[in-house]
Structure 1
């Protein structure tokens, strides 16, 4: 099958072409307009999608060497995400499908993060997915494709959200996650012992307390001290977040007996989280996988691979398909 996939759930407009098992193109148009606001402004995001979606799709088709007449289906992120952004992608896809007599596949954005692992790997089912992004942090038992059970989730801030908010406290540019990861490699993770909420309780997460703790800690320091030890603080924050994530993942493995674990979501690109996952997996004799860095953040390739799984199971939508902002 040749599938054109479109992703517009937040602030990245992306289009990808999958042919058989191969991703032929994966074009991402990022929006810089949000940087000065320190976060995504929904109205600005939807406007930017409108301005870039057509040329992004054209570029993806051109890079793949595929024309509209070669396509077997067109897929799009149906949700969750920002409603205005989702509407741009869904409406564009409906028009494309109608004009070219193509079937539509509506993809769940959170599912797609998990199945991004199948672009380059072949994890065995059942598996445990630790999905970590700016909007979600959750553990899922995936018994087989699209048979998911949420084992635990955040009670407040997601891990990616905590990284971004802490980065703002430290004066780092948005999005702060990649910058914190970069600085962490230069710092001492044992510099300061930040709290690890719910570490010994169940499979749910909580990161709002960590964010508050960092805020109070920085308010007690001088600017010179913070500048001198910025990398150490970033490393300590990364340690606090990643150790909680790994402890919960290990607990989920112990409770289910599943031998395969995958990372997914934007924060799965975090180097400390990957290292600690590998360490835990090796210690317990598990198979573990993580997407290539380019497939961790929002992208249409993960929509395409998920759409392939859905098409194989006859899970098509129609022109009545509506986007959804939350799960």
Structure 2
């Protein structure tokens, strides 16, 4: 029986060990992930701790993958697609990927974690842009506005805005952990709001946006004070998401003045939040096209890296003909 040809994609971020399996038609076969363990009350892991967990986790994910003809391995080898971009956690995906590539005598392709996010977002929406577009990368460690130029394989990315202090994800996590919620706190804060009438909740928290840059340290101080004053956790959860949503709306408005565009892609774990999505869609959908990656593929995953690997493999085969 002929085995299905697939490409394996590996990603080892600050939060998740990921393995994606995609066939040569671009269809997802497997999506395996292990969330890195964080002790209650802590705000993440040191790089050395995360790297240790990735080294333990990757063999477990590989164990779940069998019965395919693996034709290539692709890995996230750095945070961004620029020369000096580096973060120790990605050494796990790169080392493991290159080892499998050498042992099985198949091609190896390296990409950036950011390219993986963008590809996963576009793949999950079915959008295939042929012209430059804007993207917002919103995650636990990143809040960046990007001008993205599609290439034959991967993307040319220019950072055109960002945060002056903490990321949107860090802001959400710090408030959630202060409320005694597990890390990462975003999904748990969102769960607090289930079955609540959001129209009855206050939603006018302070924001700080100047030009193409955004800040969350001031809003964090505001909500830390609210927690000390024993404010309602439901009000705080809603206020935090409203703060992020309103900040992003103002930020986008500023960005479009400098970088006109008719479409924006949202990727990263924060982009999966339903309250933030709903607010931005309501405010912006008449002005431009908004592409939100499927919630499952907004957070860290190996799927986008695998899809990029498939494209690289097919391109290489084409050139050999």
Q: TM-score range by the shorter chain?
A: 0.7 to 0.9
**Deviation per residue, 1:259-294 (Å, 9 max, x gap):** 11111011011111211232233221x222112111
Structure 2: distance between partners of 1:288 and 1:194: 24
Please tell me whether the aligned partners of residues 6 and 14 of structure 1 are also in contact (alpha carbons under 8 angstroms). Answer: yes
Q: Secondary structure at the match of 2:183?
A: coil
User: 1:44 matched to which residue of 2?
Assistant: 49
Please tell me whether the aligned partners of residues 41 and 177 of structure 2 are also in contact (alpha carbons under 8 angstroms). Answer: no
- Out of 245, 248, 252, which is 2:251 matched to? 248
- Out of 266, 288, 297, which is 2:269 matched to? 266
User: 1:287 matched to which residue of 2?
Assistant: 289
Q: CA deviation at 1:34?
A: 3.7
Structure 2: distance between partners of 1:191 and 1:174: 25
Distance 1:311 1:141, change over 3 A: farther
Query: More displaced, 81-90 or 107-116?
Result: 81-90
- Out of 105, 125, 135, which is 1:129 matched to? 135
State the Cα RMSD in Å.
2.3
TM-score scaled by length of structure 2 = 0.85
**Deviation per residue, 1:84-134 (Å, 9 max, x gap):** 432222211111111111221111111211121222311423221111001
Q: Which is richer in strand? A: 2
Please tell me whether the aligned partners of residues 164 and 213 of structure 2 are also in contact (alpha carbons under 8 angstroms). Answer: yes
**Deviation per residue, 1:186-243 (Å, 9 max, x gap):** 3568526422012xx3111111111112112322x14xxx3xx111111011111111
Q: Aligned residue pairs: how many?
A: 299
Please tell me whether the aligned partners of residues 10 and 82 of structure 1 are also in contact (alpha carbons under 8 angstroms). Answer: no
Moved over 6 A (4+): none
5+ long unaligned stretches in structure 2: 80-84, 317-321
TM-score scaled by length of structure 1 = 0.83
**Deviation per residue, 1:38-94 (Å, 9 max, x gap):** 4224333222222221120231x33xx41xxx2222111111298443222221111
Residue 75 (structure 2) pairs with residue 76 (structure 1): yes
Please tell me whether the aligned partners of residues 188 and 232 of structure 1 are also in contact (alpha carbons under 8 angstroms). Answer: no
Distance 1:159 1:312, change over 3 A: farther
